[in-house]
Amino acid sequence: MIAVDLSGSMSAADFTLPDGSAINRLQAVKRVLADFVAQREHDRLGLVLFADAPYLQVPFSEDHNTWLSLLDEAEIGMAGQSTVFGDSIGLAIKLFNNSDAKNRTLIVLTDGNDTGSLVPPIEAARVAAANQIRIYIIAVGDPQTIGEEAMDMQTIRSVVELTGGQYFEALNNEELVRASNVINELEEDQFEVLSYRPRISLHYYPVMLVAILYLLFHSAMALQLIRQRRTAGSNIKGVAGV
């Protein structure tokens, strides 16, 4: 499950691309997730978006094209301006418990500044840990930012420590890509291998054996009959000669 922050703070244009141009945090997230999804060919992926409230954008699905399309439609502020970080974890827990997912991994991309969750992030993390859900957090943006756009790194660190995950600070596009690659390596691609073994019908083997035995039997009978006739013919000649 991947959870993406759509709060107002994600509009901060503090991400730099290799060419030096700046983009906002959500644009950077969309770019790196497109590459990340391409490496998870066999995964069922879900998508949660959150701001004033969390909501399910895409249920667990193997249709990655649709997943990316629905992510691309997400816009900053479409779900409000706040960041209910803790509630997004709570929704992910519910979705995992209602699924048959064996590999319970939640990846959150956010600035981590919770501004109104009903369930505080730390408490949500404790529940996630109890449900064997591992949380990775990519903290996007500059940790030195202040005000509403600031990142709560202490909360981020506490959440991942409780669930056995990891956190990453991503100030620019290169660091964001590196973080996603590390997660991709840590979480092996989960898929079932279906083997196919061609079936060869063996019913004709006993049929062939019976046919061969039948031919051998009748061939032997025919040879015996020929011999008998030859023997009888020889006897008749001997009698005539006498």
Task: Give 45-58 pLDDT, tens digit per residue.
Answer: 999 999 999 999 99
> φ and ψ at 35, to 5 degrees?
-70, -40
Measured distance CA(178)–CA(132) in Å, rounded: 26
* Segments making up each domain of the chain, as ranges: 2-186, 202-242
pLDDT above 70 as % of the chain: 78
pLDDT of residue 46: 95
DSSP character at residue 52: S
What is the rounded CA–CA span in Å between residue 108 and residue 153? 13
- pLDDT of amino acid 194: 41
CB 58 within 8 A of CB 70: yes
Q: What is the pLDDT of residues 141-188, one digit of tens each?
A: 666 665 555 667 888 999 999 999 999 888 777 878 888 888 888 776
pLDDT (average), residues 232-242: 54
For 49, the 3-state DSSP assignment is strand
Beta partners for 167? Answer: 137
67-92 tens-digit pLDDT:
999 999 999 988 788 889 999 999 99
Q: What is the CATH number of domain 2-186?
A: 3.40.50.410
